[in-house]
Amino acid sequence: MEMKHIFREGRKDRPVLLLLHGTGGTEQDLLPLAGLIDKEASVLSVRGNVLENGMPRFFRRLEEGVFDHEDLVKRTEELHTFLDEAADYYQFERDNVIAVGYSNGANIAGSLIFHYENSLKGAILHHPMVPVKDSTLPKIKGLPVFIGAGENDPICEPEETKELKAILEKAEAEVELFWENQGHQLTEREVQAAAKWYESQFLAFE
């Protein structure tokens, strides 16, 4: 397995939270977030394999807001394969993985949804962009997706958020969009909204 990561085993009957950091983050960054979403879930927190001026990322970009599409596809495949290998190695259910991503991490999680059927059981995407324009999505009917967005986000503008929601809904995903009156930062209120959504989607029938 060629991605630096942390795995913490939780209850077998809970999902595995796949934590995906933003630009310049590490596999440590979102661990507190996992505790707020589900203290009893297993956690697989991954560091991106790409460096931009010394800052870890999950894929290259040509400039801010412009993705290197070829590298995005390659790195998405790399992460998808890593999840298969990690499930085998750590003995968790491969079809029970829920991504929790912020910014660049949300974008690679979105790319998994755009490129692979059944790669994720659900996703919490904090401040994502549309990973691939004009693409045909695989079958994701009923896939639960939470999007957290900032009304004043200069990096991921509201129009981008609305476009991503529309694309996912056209492919019949079940999308909940939460607007925060902030910029690109991740707020406590947004995390609380994601945790409430997660509980309703994955813990309501316990």
Rg (CA), the chain: 15
Indicate which residues carry an active-site annotation: 103, 153, 184
The residues near 131 (Cβ < 8 Å, ≥ 6 apart) are 67, 72, 107, 108, 110, 111, 114
Class of domain 5-203: alpha beta
* pLDDT per position as a tens digit, 39-88: 999 999 999 999 999 999 999 998 877 899 999 999 999 999 999 999 99
Task: Retrieve residue 152's tokens.
Answer: 């004043």
pTM of the model: 0.96
Distance CA(5)–CA(179), nearest Å, equals: 30
pLDDT of residue 47: 98
For the chain, give the mean pLDDT: 95
pLDDT of residue 146: 98
Q: Which residues of the chain have pLDDT under 50?
A: none
Domains of the chain, by residue range, sit at 5-203
Distance CA(94)–CA(120), nearest Å, equals: 8
